[in-house]
Structure 1
Amino acid sequence: MAESVPAVTTRRSGFRWVVMGLIFIVYTLAAADRANIGIVLPFLKAEFQMTNTEAGAVVSLFFIGYSVAQIPAGFLVRRFGVRTVFPFFMILTSIFTGLLGTASSAFHLKLNRLALGLAEAPLPVAMLSTMNRWFPPAEKGTAVGIFLAAAKFGPVLVPPLGALIIASLGWSYIFYICAAPGLLFAVLWYVLVANDPSQSRFTTEAEVLHIQAKTPPAAVAGRGPAKPTRDLGWLDRLIRARRVRPIATASETFRSANIWGLAIGYLLMTGIINVILAWLPTYLTTVKKLSIMNVGFVAAAPFLGAVLGNLLGGVFSDRMVDKRRKPTIIITALSSVFMMYALVYAPNDPIALAALLFVTGLLLNLGYSSFTVYPAGLTTKEAYPLAVSVVNTGGQAGGALLPFVTGLILDSYNWDVVFLFLAASSLVALAVISLVVEPIDGETGPGQQRA
């Protein structure tokens, strides 16, 4: 008779969700550090006598530094681990955020923005690598949805608080106030977050097995094995669902057409989001003629929608379409074409405009979390940091390129042309994303192919 395997009797802890809560807080802080430039930009343009193109360069320099440092950040995380890399660069991020408030010239401002981008670049790579190790496949979409909701929660807070700070203290204090909390949370990360859950003194054996997917949740509870990936028929054919051989090396990562296709799509969609992040307060001030307090209220609306969109998108991709990531990406890219066109005819009333921007933010971010969880289905856990760094490099290159192009457009044309340019960018993203495959587990679909 076969020897029975003893059940794991240790109660499964939920410390991975404590880690997720810490990730949400620190990424909200990091997102606020990058988002504060938007509410301040009209005042910086006036103080330093900058054209729209120069203002676009101030925005873009952060993302140039951020993009350039993504792949080196992936190697750093792989070599030294998240416990060391994250706190070090979180402290640097806080320092360079504070220094922005001391800028005495446009050159000084640009230099600090570039340095901030270089300092902040390893943070999302470290956090995504943490989630990839701390969450089982069935929870990764939800976790990344929460993570990217944090990226949009910072921009929800910054416009109204920034407007209040500018009105009472002046623009430089926004940077000082945003800088301080990061120092505290860098220390908390070092104390609480291990490189791997198996190394943490806060996790139980049952939770580690659950994370490693060696003991499915249903089996731990005595309800039998977890269900295999199910066939979704026409949807799988539409999204090109395939079983793939996981990428395991750096050379395989750089040769993967799927990784590069995703990076191009992420470039365009991140660029659109960053145009809204950086330029929306200027649009509301110069075109819609809103007061600074109304600007703070309306500029927060798309990112409030983005928080909801990221959360809904993560849950939908995990539970409704069985861990498939492309469906929400396709919905986001397609709907954003129409929402960017709708902004050409945006109303002047602050409440109606905020409602339109809320829906825009929700749809634009419904599939945004899937861009960074998608590589986990293509790679081993060891290869994931580099793969997601490549995708993030594309995203942040878009974050640099599209805001700068927006400045060029505004110096020669108007905001209608900007919104049509963004609609066209979303359409191109949709076309590129349609070409990549959807990696799936189990016996569904054709035989394995190279990722």
Structure 2
Amino acid sequence: MRALLRYFATGPDSIGTASPTEVDREFHYQRRNVIVIITLCYGLAYVCRLALNVVKKPLMDAGVFTPEQLGIIGSTLLYGYALGKFSNGFLADHAHVGRFFAAGLLLSALANFGMGLSELLWLSALLWGLNGWFQGFGAPASVVALAHWYSNHERGRYYGIWSTAHSIGEGLTYLGVAWLIADPPKGLGLHWPWGFWVPALICLAAALLVWRFLPDRPQARGLPSVADWRGDHGAQAQAAASNGVSVLQTQLRIMTMPAIWILALASSSMYVTRYAINSWGNVYLQEIRGFDLFDANFFIFLNTAAGILGCLAYGFASDKLFDARRPPANLLFGLMELLPLFVIFWGPRDPVILAAALVVYGFGLSGILASLGGLFAVDIAPNGWRVRRWDLSASSVTWARACRITSAAS
């Protein structure tokens, strides 16, 4: 057990001997790896999270589960995911995020393999609830990686890029898995279990990529913190650094911040609308609006495709137009999320109007998701790994080196 814990734990701070040029080169290389890997692989993780949403209608048509039973199974994932994000967020602060994220992807893939074999309500509910817990490894690991490798005044843009993973994963699921179930290649005997097995194979590939390419935090690799490297210390980080507290103390302090709990409440409210569309939107379009399986999922795909632009637009707007202040951007994108819902559920049945409403909804939702899903909390909460009590008598060489690197970067 100790060996396992050591394997997943982040490495200790390492005093590097690299020149400022080598430090710059290493930061640029690793930052590129971080944003590419967490965006790609978190998007691929989504196919294991949303597979049930696509195969709900085939499961009902095959008489495997009733809509009520599918609602029970689906809800276990959401509660498992909520608990997973809460607990795994604490763990990710202490973890080697590449190994931690990879483990979640591997376990999620195994849960999906099991779902393709189960026709028992209790077993499917258990597996899907565990899948929610395992899916809760990805977001905390990705957000911690962003906090370690990107500084305050650039984080909104990079967080926006990472948040496109939500839409990328949803698009892959609603088009790819829907096509697999609705129009399977002849002779392969594909049916609803493959709606779980193919996502599982995709998650296994993503786990290998994360394990290989997502690095530990900069200090564990002999680099200064990204705030020191860029000379970009947020107010919260400076306040925390002046107090010299540990990671655990920082975590406990965050738990007492009212703003964090307000963000959690706002985020949960946003997720009600998000999962109403993600979980039942395609069934609603088939049962109430009369579309077939592929067309219904294509409409949901339009929503997710618009979400890619929404994430990018939110990151740019909040960083550049509002100088890294998130509330004004939250209000703007929140209205774009809310108003189209009235058209989707109570508007005309015209497919063009419905498609337009889903596009605007997806654009606004993904923007607000980027903020309430983690960016805003990262901004206002201190980062424990940036908190250090410098002992000038014992660490004068290290301190001087850090100052030189900071000056060179500035």
Same fold (TM over 0.5): yes
Query: C-alpha deviations, 1:326-350, integer Å up to 9, x for none?
Result: 1222223333332222223344343
- 1:132 is matched with which residue? 147
Deviation at 1:48, TM superposition (A): 4.1
Q: Is the 8 A contact 2:237 2:383 kept in 1?
A: no
- The alpha-carbon deviation at position 78 of structure 1 amounts to 2.7
Deviation digits for residues 357-397 of structure 1, max 9, x if unmatched? 1111112222221121112222222289xxxxxxxxxxxxx
Q: Say if 2:376 is the partner of 1:378.
A: no
Identity, % of aligned pairs? Answer: 23
- Cα 1:363/1:72, change in 2 over 3 Å: closer
* 5+ long unaligned stretches in structure 1: 1-6, 217-225, 230-240, 385-451
Query: Which of the residues 213, 216, 225 maps onto 1:192?
Result: 213
Tell me how far apart the structure 1 counterparts of residues 50 and 35 of structure 2 sit (CA, whole Å).
Answer: 22
Change in Cα spacing, 1:52 to 1:174, as seen in structure 2 (3 Å) is: closer
Against the structure 1 CA distance between its residues 144 and 48, is the aligned structure 2 distance closer, same or farther, given a 3 Å change threshold?
farther
Cα displacement string for residues 176-215 of structure 1 (whole angstroms, at most 9, x for unaligned residues):
11111322332332232222124449xxx6xx56x33444
The equivalent residue for 1:85 is 100
Indicate the residue corresponding to 1:313 in structure 2.
314
How far, CA to CA, are the matches of 2:35 and 2:102 in structure 1? 16
Aligned ranges 1:47-446 → 2 under 5 Å: 47-48=62-63, 50-167=65-182, 168=184, 169-200=190-221, 211-216=226-231, 245-246=239-240, 249-371=250-372, 372-382=374-384
Identify the structure with the greater helix proportion. Answer: 2
1:27 aligns with 2:42: yes
Instruction: Flag the structure with more relative contact order, 1 or 2, with Cα contacts below 8 A and sequence separation at least 6.
Output: 1
Shift of 1:50: 4.5
**Contact persistence 1:29–1:154 (CA under 8 A):** yes
| Residues 9 and 108 (structure 1), Cα distance of their counterparts in 2 relative to 1, 3 Å cut | closer
The letter for the 1-side match of 2:71 is G
Tell me the equivalent position of 1:238.
none
In structure 2, the CA distance between the partners of 1:55 and 1:383, relative to structure 1 (3 Å rule), is farther
Find the aligned partners of 2:75 and 2:142 in 1 and give their Cα distance: 23
CA offsets 1:129-151 (integer angstroms, 9 cap, x no match): 11110111122111211222101
Q: Which is further off, 289-298 or 50-59?
A: 50-59
Q: Distance in 2 between matches of 1:346 and 1:57?
A: 29
In structure 1, C-alpha distance between the alignment counterparts of 2:68 and 2:330, rounded to whole Å? 31
Check 1:73–1:354 CA distance in 2 against 1; reply closer, same or farther (3 A cut). same
Is the 8 Å Cα contact of residues 48 and 203 (structure 2) preserved in structure 1? no
Preserved contact between residue 326 and residue 376 of structure 2 (Cα < 8 Å): yes
> In structure 1, the residue corresponding to 2:216 is in which secondary structure?
coil
> What letter matches 2:370 in structure 1?
S
Task: Give the Cα–Cα distance (whole angstroms) in 2 for the partners of residues 96 and 174 of structure 1.
Answer: 13
Please give the alpha-carbon distance, in whole angstroms, between the structure 2 residues aligned to 1:44 and 1:324: 45
Which residue pairs with 1:434 in the alignment? none
- How far did 1:83 drift? 3.1
1:259 maps to a residue whose letter is I
Give the CA RMSD over aligned residues: 2.7
Q: How far apart are the structure 2 equivalents of 1:335 and 1:176?
A: 36
Q: How far apart in 2 are the matches of 1:84 and 1:14?
A: 19
Q: How far 1:309 moved relative to its partner?
A: 0.6
Q: CA deviation at 1:243?
A: 11
- Asked whether the 8 Å contact 2:237–2:382 carries over to 1, the reply is no
In structure 2, how many angstroms separate the alpha carbons of the residues matched to 1:112 and 1:243?
40
User: Aligned AA for 1:175?
Assistant: F
Matched AA of 2:292: S
Q: Measured at CA, do residues 213 and 373 of structure 1 come closer, stay the same or move farther in structure 2, by a change above 3 Å? A: farther
Cα separation, 2, equivalents of 1:25 and 1:214: 26
Q: Is the 8 A contact 1:303 1:361 kept in 2?
A: yes
Question: What letter matches 1:182 in structure 2?
Answer: C
Which amino acid in 2 is paired with 1:185?
A
Q: Structure 1's 292 and 179: CA in aligned 2 closer, same or farther, altered over 3 A?
A: same
Provide the C-alpha distance between the structure 1 equivalents of 2:369 and 2:325, rounded to a whole number of angstroms.
13
CA contact under 8 A between 1:281 and 1:299: conserved in structure 2?
yes
- Helix, strand or coil: the match of 1:104? coil
Amino acid at match of 1:195: D
Cα contact 2:236–2:381 (8 A) shared by 1: no
Q: Relative to 1, partners in 2 of residues 1:154 and 1:346: Cα closer, same or farther, differing over 3 Å?
A: farther
Task: Note the alpha carbon deviations across 1:23-66, whole angstroms, 9 max, x for none.
Answer: 11111111121122222112223334655443322221101111
Whichever residue aligns with residue 108 of structure 2, its letter is T
Q: 1:14 to 1:39 in 2, by over 3 A?
A: same
